[in-house]
């Protein structure tokens, strides 16, 4: 039976025996408004662990736009129903004052430039907020494995570095992006799109697929310009479209064996992101 927990002392009480017996805890941190992408993370966690914890916390620190924070969809009752149906053991609704004080920052973490490109360039301070909340949640749950979706490719790269830098005992499990039948990357923000906008937003995955098919065939600069034009000629407003190194996230102008195409654009007032792995042909 799924248990709803809001107090840190209650969480530790419920996890004490699991930790003491060295059983595996799978952890899925979320901001709620759950969709099939989140549930796929849960299913991976269920298959590989003795107990699964899902947290739901809309983290104000990672929103550089207060209006975006206010508009972020919140459906806690529906989220609980979905997680209960998946057999999640504990759903944790942490309190902000138990996660961190106003001055809290993940201690001594250096991004080495991972936070200033792509999403970081468009959303200053976003990734400090991400690192703060994930670090704090790891301290609360002390999981064996933590599950993150690859739709947020840059976030995964930063969390991977945080785990390594702090020598945390948690194993990061990367789960491929889940898409709608039409190909749109699933996101809680999609709830703010109407049906016409969901169709218009398909230009993102179509453009990434164009890049993936032509990577190593067309010269990289030409490929990027043609791909950017596809979005510029649509109803979406392009924020960025880059082909980047998988590790450093630095933009590439020359061919590498593997790379990642990353895109962000506005569909109406909703900002969407997506990415795709590229392998040179």
Catalytic machinery residues:
38
- For residue 251, give every residue at least 6 positions away whose Cβ sits within 8 Å of its Cβ, in sequence order, or none: 117, 242, 243, 244
What's the token pair of residue 244?
A: 């980047």
Of the candidates 32, 50, 271, 41, the residue with the CA atom closest to the CA atom of residue 175: 41
- For residue 163, give every residue at least 6 positions away whose Cβ sits within 8 Å of its Cβ, in sequence order, or none: 170, 172
**Could you give the CA distance from residue 251 to residue 254 in angstroms, rounded to a whole number?**
9
Dihedral angle over CA of 106, 122, 260, 146, nearest 10: 30
Are the C-beta atoms of 218 and 250 separated by less than 8 Å? no
Dihedral angle over CA of 183, 185, 187, 190, nearest 10: -40
* Cα 262 off chain centre by: 13
């Amino acid at each position: 039976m799924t248990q709803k927990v809001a107090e840190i002392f209650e969480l530790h009480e419920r996890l004490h025996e699991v930790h003491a017996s060295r059983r595996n805890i799978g952890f899925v941190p979320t901001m709620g408004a759950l969709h099939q992408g989140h549930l796929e993370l849960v299913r991976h966690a269920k298959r590989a662990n003795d107990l699964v914890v899902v947290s739901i916390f809309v983290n104000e620190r990672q929103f550089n736009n207060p209006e975006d924070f206010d508009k972020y969809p919140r459906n806690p009752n529906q989220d609980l129903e979905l997680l209960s149906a998946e057999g999640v053991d504990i759903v944790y609704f942490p309190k902000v004052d138990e996660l961190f004080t106003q001055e809290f920052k993940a201690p001594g973490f250096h991004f080495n430039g991972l936070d200033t490109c792509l999403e970081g360039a468009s959303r200053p301070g976003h990734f400090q907020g991400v690192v703060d909340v994930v670090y704090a949640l790891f301290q609360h749950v002390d999981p064996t494995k933590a599950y993150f979706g690859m739709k947020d490719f840059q976030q995964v790269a930063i969390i991977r570095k945080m785990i390594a830098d702090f020598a945390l005992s948690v194993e990061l499990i990367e789960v491929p992006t889940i898409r709608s039948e039409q190909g749109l990357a699933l996101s809680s923000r999609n709830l703010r799109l109407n049906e016409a906008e969901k169709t218009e937003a398909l230009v993102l995955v179509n453009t990434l697929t164009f890049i993936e098919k032509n990577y190593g065939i067309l010269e990289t600069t030409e490929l990027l310009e043609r791909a950017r034009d596809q979005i510029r000629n649509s109803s979406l407003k392009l924020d960025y479209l880059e082909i980047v190194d998988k590790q450093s996230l630095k933009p590439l102008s020359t061919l590498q064996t593997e790379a990642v195409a990353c895109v962000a654009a506005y569909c109406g007032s909703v900002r969407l992101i997506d990415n795709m792995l590229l392998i040179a042909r």
